[in-house]
């Protein structure tokens, strides 16, 4: 089981879109996949076709160890992958976890019992470096960082990289940056191309080969509760996320050898 946190403390950079579409693309490729929604906004839950307003239980109760992961998970009606859903309740977890034992290890503990159930676990982190994100980083083997190729893209990346280093040093020796994923890419934009080239220069093979273009079909899909890769399979964005799933499967395959 490979566990990846999809993180970037900036909002609106494509974390949730990446989490939902990579989960659906991996599932479509036959990988047993669990998507964990760690954002109180519940966008990954909704985008997977699960109504956050109707949830009886969610990741919130799992983090507080009131119920098990098996009791809280649901299956995406469209996507053939499992979801550990979230809603507003999760905002309270931040405060409620503070005084509890091993507060940053709660998700890791819950996942440990399901080691044999999944090939991939993807964790959609909230736009902050909070206790929730910390739970994601402590549970994960690696971090996938979606980013837009714009002027300020690198600003803030150092905060995230420092946090990942600290977590690696103090809490989770397994953690590493798997890669930077360029999303909402516009090939006709000169600046995008320059920033993209800079990323390749600085980060080398830590930059995924796959480029996800800006594609309106990916943005439309969540309102139908269907992952973009299934909503319009022929769309450029859908195809990019299918290619990205192949790239991820290839990466983890190399580790086994
Ligand atoms: P985050 O989870 O980092 O806040 P989202 O995945 O919710 O970011 O994306 C922010 C907004 O950008 C959403 O409205 C989403 O539909 C849109 N979006 C994300 N990726 C793309 C893309 N490749 N093309 C077009 N729109 C996108
Ligand atoms: Mg999000």
Q: Ligand 1 — pocket residues by CB below 6 A?
A: 11-17, 43, 127, 183-184, 212, 214-215, 218-219, 237
Which position has the token pair 């956050």?
A: 52
How many whole angstroms separate alpha carbon 52 and alpha carbon 65? Answer: 20
Where residue 257 falls among pLDDT bands split at 50, 70, 90?
A: low
Mutation choice for ligand 1 from 127, 212, 219, CB with most ligand atoms inside 8 A: 219
Q: Tell me, what's the pLDDT at 122?
A: 98
- Going by their DSSP bridges, the two strands 74-75 and 176-185 should be labelled as unpaired
User: Do the Cβ atoms of 246 and 236 come closer than 8 Å?
Assistant: no
Residue located via tokens 């397994």: 174
What H or E segment, with its residue span, contains residue 182?
strand 176-185
237 CA: nearest ligand 1 atom = 23
Q: Which two tokens stand for residue 8?
A: 């970037």
Class of the CATH-defined domain 2-256: alpha beta
Q: Is the pTM of this model over 0.75?
A: yes
Pick the atom of ligand 1 nearest to 220's CA. Answer: 16
- Of 18-27, 148-157, 239-248, the least confident: 148-157
Q: Which ligand is nearest to the CA of 41?
A: 2
- Closest-lying ligand 1 atom to the alpha carbon of residue 17: 6
> In the predicted model, what is the mean pLDDT of residues 60-89?
96
Query: Which residue is closest in CA terms to ligand 1's atom 27?
Result: 219
The 10s digit of each residue's pLDDT in 224-240 is 999 999 999 999 999 99
pLDDT band at 152 (very low <50, low <70, confident <90, very high): confident
Cα separation, 177 vs 142, in Å, equals 5
Distance CA 79, CA 14 (A): 19
Every domain of the chain and the residues it spans: 2-256
Cα–ligand 1 centroid distance for 81 (angstroms): 20
The protein residue whose alpha carbon is closest to atom 14 in ligand 1 is 219
């Amino acid at each position: 089981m490979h566990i990846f946190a999809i993180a970037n403390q900036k909002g609106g950079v494509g974390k949730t879109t990446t989490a939902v579409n990579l989960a659906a693309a991996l599932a479509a490729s036959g990988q047993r996949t669990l998507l964990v929604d760690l954002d109180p906004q519940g966008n990954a839950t909704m985008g997977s076709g699960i109504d956050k307003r109707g949830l009886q239980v969610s990741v919130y109760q799992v983090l507080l160890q009131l119920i098990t992961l098996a009791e809280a998970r649901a299956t995406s009606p469209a996507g053939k992958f499992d979801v550990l859903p979230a809603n507003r309740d999760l905002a309270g977890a931040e405060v409620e976890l503070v005084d509890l034992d091993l507060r940053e290890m709660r998700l890791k503990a819950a996942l440990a019992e399901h080691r044999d159930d999944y090939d991939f676990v993807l964790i959609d982190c909230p736009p902050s470096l909070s206790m929730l994100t910390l739970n994601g980083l402590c549970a994960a083997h690696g971090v996938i960082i979606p980013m837009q190729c714009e002027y300020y893209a690198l600003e803030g990346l150092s905060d995230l990289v420092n946090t990942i280093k600290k977590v690696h040093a103090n809490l989770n020796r397994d953690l590493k940056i798997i890669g930077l994923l360029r999303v909402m890419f516009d090939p006709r934009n000169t600046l995008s191309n320059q920033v993209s080239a800079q990323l390749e220069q600085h980060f080398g093979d830590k930059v995924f080969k796959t480029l996800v273009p800006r594609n309106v079909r990916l943005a439309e899909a969540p309102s139908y509760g269907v992952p973009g890769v299934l909503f319009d399979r022929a769309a450029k964005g859908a195809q990019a996320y299918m290619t990205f799933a192949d790239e991820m499967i290839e990466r983890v395959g190399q580790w086994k050898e």
